[in-house]
Amino acid sequence: KNVFDVEKIRKDFPILQREVNNYPLVYFDNAATSQTPQQVIDAIVDYYLNYNANIHRGVHTLSQEATDKYEAARKKIQKHFNAEKSHEIIFTSGATHGINLVASGFSAILKEGDEILVSALEHHSNIVPWQMICEKTGAKLNVIPMNEDGELVYTAFEELLSEKTKIVFLNHVSNALGTVNPIKKVIDKAHAAGAAVLIDGAQAAPHIKADVQALDVDFYVVSAHKMCGPTGVGVLYGKEEWLNKLPPYQGGGEMIATVTFEKTTYADLPHKFEAGTPNICGGIAFGAALDYLDNIGFDAIAAYEQDLLEYATKKLLEIKGMRIYGVAKEKTSVVSFNIEGLHPYDIGTIVDKLGIAVRTGHHCAQPIMDFYKIPGTVRASFSFYNTRAEIDRFIEAVEKARAMLS
Ligand code: PMP
């Protein structure tokens, strides 16, 4: 693996050269969407310049080239997450789509009296689809509480789990706090009780390389746009036996074996869940993004980002009135905070004037904000292309905001 050279890495990201409000951009909103390296931009351009065509149906050369590249990307993704079979990788439009696909499938399985478990730390996209399915099926949604440190209360999970529990869904990493959940423990415990587990890996996947076989997880969803890939594409990993059990999510072309007005039969995996023309270029570019990340190496990425996290945490805590939410031992490179007496939105607006992009608000995780009784937080999320010097500029900007607003 290559030596970690952040200045060299930064050259791969053209957007990092731009200015915002006459300052060099500092991009600390990576948990919302990561930036795109030239290698991925090149893959997108190459597709539209050279072999843009619909896949899986054409006999012509372009269609075959596009199909080969798209299926090669699926294999790359399979290898990255260590799925046993490439047809266990379903292309989606993102994590939200993957979760809805599974939730909708479970509406054919759940009955009145069944229970499903969700954590209090979820993104809305891992709450609302399940609420909709509960309404439809009469199943009951139980919530595993969180504690002050932003951690899942594991003992409460053990108490809530029973033979009535059909599925547990939980994020690998909380998007609002960056805290890492003990997913392996949850998966093993849930399986022992006969429940399936869906892990929302949207926030983990940019930082932690999940091994779906070692985890023995039933479903794992990610979005490419948080992993240096384009928007509008992601994958659902599902164990073959589960994907065979679930009904199709959408009907259309590509997902059928035969169609007559009397009876339609469905295609084999993965096509059963891939109705219509997919985001072909996006899937191929997602593969290029994984090549890019794997070439740097996730161990190197994690070590570097942990240094940024520690540095930023220490510096932020020197600011008067600072409260950081989510202080769990294991965290990805996210700091979510407030300054006493100030509104997060005001801080975000002032630091943007100084060229620094952070996220403010509830981060699509209102239950977490309700738990802390706050309207929202300022969230700075670091990537491996950020630097300590950028954190220094951020600290200075936050200090300035505090002085202006107090
Ligand atoms: N889950 C988590 C934990 C997330 O952070 C996000 C994106 N903010 C999603 C799900 C949804 O991802 P997408 O909008 O790409 O579908």
pLDDT (tens digit per residue) in 49-106: 999 999 988 889 999 999 999 999 999 999 999 999 999 999 999 999 999 999 999 9
At which of 240, 270, 294 does a domain end? 294
Q: Do 279 and 347 belong together in one domain?
A: no
pLDDT tens figures, 315-332: 999 999 999 999 888 999
* Segment holding 197, helix H or strand E: strand 196-200
Q: Do 267 and 338 belong together in one domain?
A: no
Owning domain of residue 386: 6-30+297-405
Strands 377-381 and 334-339, by their bridges, are antiparallel
Tell me the C-alpha to C-alpha distance, in Å, between residue 342 and each of 83, 313, 378: 46, 19, 11
Place of tokens 């065979």: 244
Pocket residue to mutate for ligand 1, from 124, 180, 223, 334, most atoms within 8 A of Cβ: 223
How many Å lie between the centroid of ligand 1 and the Cα of residue 186?
21
CATH at 155: 3.40.640.10
Q: Do 316 and 206 belong together in one domain?
A: no
Q: What is the pLDDT along the chain (406 residues), one digit of tens a residue?
A: 456 899 999 999 999 999 999 999 999 999 999 999 999 999 999 999 999 999 988 889 999 999 999 999 999 999 999 999 999 999 999 999 999 999 999 999 999 999 999 999 999 999 999 999 999 999 999 999 999 999 999 999 999 999 999 999 999 999 999 999 999 999 999 999 999 999 999 999 999 999 999 999 999 999 999 999 999 999 999 999 999 999 999 998 888 899 999 999 999 999 999 999 999 999 999 999 999 999 999 999 999 999 999 999 999 999 999 999 998 889 999 999 999 999 999 999 999 999 999 999 999 999 999 999 999 999 999 999 999 999 999 999 999 999 999 8
- Which pair of structure tokens corresponds to residue 149? 């440190």
* Segment holding 184, helix H or strand E: helix 183-192
Would you call 364 a catalytic residue per the annotation? yes
Q: Which pLDDT score is estimated for 126?
A: 92
* Residue closest by Cα to atom 6 of ligand 1: 202
Is 349 a domain residue?
yes
Q: Do 230 and 367 belong together in one domain?
A: no
Atom index in ligand 1 nearest the CA of residue 122 equals 3
At which of 233, 267, 294 does a domain end? 294
* Residue closest by Cα to atom 4 of ligand 1: 202
Q: Do 145 and 238 belong together in one domain?
A: yes
How many Å lie between the centroid of ligand 1 and the Cα of residue 95?
6
Q: Do 301 and 282 belong together in one domain?
A: no
Give dist(CA 153, CA 120) in Å, integer.
Answer: 9
Is 173 a domain residue?
yes
Give dist(CA 392, CA 399) in Å, integer.
Answer: 11
Hey, which residues does 90 pair with through a beta bridge? 236
Q: Do 112 and 229 belong together in one domain?
A: yes
Pocket residue to mutate for ligand 1, from 175, 180, 279, 366, most atoms within 8 A of Cβ: 175
Q: Do 276 and 368 belong together in one domain?
A: no
pLDDT tens figures, 229-238: 999 999 999 9
Tell me the C-alpha to C-alpha distance, in Å, between residue 62 and each of 75, 275, 282, 328: 20, 21, 17, 50
Active-site residue identified among 134, 228, 281, 364: 364
How many Å lie between the centroid of ligand 1 and the Cα of residue 8?
29
Is 1 a domain residue?
no
- Which pair of structure tokens corresponds to residue 58? 């054409």
Q: Do 330 and 219 belong together in one domain?
A: no
How many Å lie between the centroid of ligand 1 and the Cα of residue 62?
33
How many Å lie between the centroid of ligand 1 and the Cα of residue 210?
17
Looking at residue 150, its amino acid is G
How big is the CA angle at 352 (ends 351 and 357), to the nearest 5 degrees? 100
Is 117 a domain residue?
yes
Residues with CB under 6 A from ligand 1: 94-96, 123, 125-126, 171, 175, 200, 202-203, 223, 225, 364
Give dist(CA 76, CA 86) in Å, integer.
Answer: 9
Is 355 a domain residue?
yes
Q: Which pLDDT score is estimated for 1?
A: 47
Is 218 a domain residue?
yes
* Residue closest by Cα to atom 5 of ligand 1: 175
How many Å lie between the centroid of ligand 1 and the Cα of residue 235?
12
* Residue closest by Cα to atom 8 of ligand 1: 32
Is 230 a domain residue?
yes
At which of 294, 319, 343 does a domain end? 294
How many Å lie between the centroid of ligand 1 and the Cα of residue 3?
31
Q: Do 278 and 326 belong together in one domain?
A: no
Pocket residue to mutate for ligand 1, from 30, 122, 123, most atoms within 8 A of Cβ: 123
* Residue closest by Cα to atom 12 of ligand 1: 95
Q: Which pLDDT score is estimated for 2?
A: 53
CATH at 304: 3.90.1150.10
Q: Do 245 and 173 belong together in one domain?
A: yes
Q: Which pLDDT score is estimated for 329?
A: 85
Q: Looking at the 3D structure of the chain, how many domains does it have?
A: 2
CA 320 to chain CA mean position, Å: 33
Q: Do 26 and 165 belong together in one domain?
A: no
* Segment holding 165, helix H or strand E: strand 165-171
Is 35 a domain residue?
no
Pocket residue to mutate for ligand 1, from 130, 180, 364, 381, most atoms within 8 A of Cβ: 364
